[in-house]
């Protein structure tokens, strides 16, 4: 339930592939440790370090609510992928519950908005690390609509504090 990489600054209507491509090409951009994978949605194809669900197979968890079991390996994979995606969506929901400023229109300059997003994500990670049972009450859906859909298990090889120093210098 923590963020491993945050790349603010793109508008919501841009294609996800462009954002991912930008994140991978940056000097200090997204790096996936060997043997690890990031989940991507069905708009992507499976490739090294990125796992998309199988197309044409059941995907949503509610499709298995009645006790139906996956019929093949692809449906089983999709069920597990959907499970993990729900965790990711809960993480975004928790971020929005904690920091209501992310749910309302902002009139700050883009650079300031990006810093606010980074600061909220860093504070969220700090709280999750130090006080994992501190979960705020959810914000009613009509107060905060967020279509973010895009967790890697804890791994000591991941660098999660790089942006922290940049933000701390900005705050100080």
pLDDT by residue for the chain (172 residues), tens only, comes to 888 888 888 887 888 888 888 888 888 888 888 888 888 887 777 778 888 888 777 667 676 677 778 888 888 888 888 888 888 888 888 888 888 888 888 888 889 999 999 999 999 999 988 887 776 655 555 555 544 443 444 445 544 433 333 333 344 3
pLDDT score for 135: 67
pLDDT score for 145: 53
Place of tokens 């200090």: 28
pLDDT score for 167: 36
pLDDT score for 162: 34
pLDDT score for 143: 52
pTM, 2 dp:
0.66
Q: Parse the chain into domains and list their residue ranges.
A: 16-171
Exposure string for 5-36, b = 16+ CB within 10 A, e = fewer: bbbeeeeeeeeeeebbeeeeeeeeebebeeee
Question: CA of 23: how far to CAs of 20, 46, 72, 93, 151, in Å?
Answer: 5, 18, 34, 23, 16
């Amino acid at each position: 339930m923590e963020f491993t990489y945050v790349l603010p600054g793109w508008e919501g209507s841009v294609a996800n592939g462009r954002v991912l491509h930008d994140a991978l090409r940056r000097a200090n951009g997204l790096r996936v440790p060997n043997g690890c994978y990031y989940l991507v949605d069905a708009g992507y194809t499976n490739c090294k370090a990125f796992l998309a669900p199988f197309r044409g197979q059941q995907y949503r968890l509610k499709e298995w609510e009645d006790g139906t079991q996956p019929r093949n390996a692809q449906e089983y994979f999709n069920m597990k992928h959907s499970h993990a995606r729900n965790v990711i969506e809960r993480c975004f929901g928790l971020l929005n519950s904690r920091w209501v400023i992310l749910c309302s229109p902002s009139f700050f300059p883009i650079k300031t908005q990006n810093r606010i997003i980074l600061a909220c994500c860093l504070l969220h990670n700090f709280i999750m690390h130090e006080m994992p049972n501190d979960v705020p009450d959810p914000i009613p859906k009509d107060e905060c609509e967020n279509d973010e859909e895009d967790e890697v298990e804890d791994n000591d090889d991941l660098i999660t504090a790089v942006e922290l120093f940049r933000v701390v210098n900005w705050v100080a």
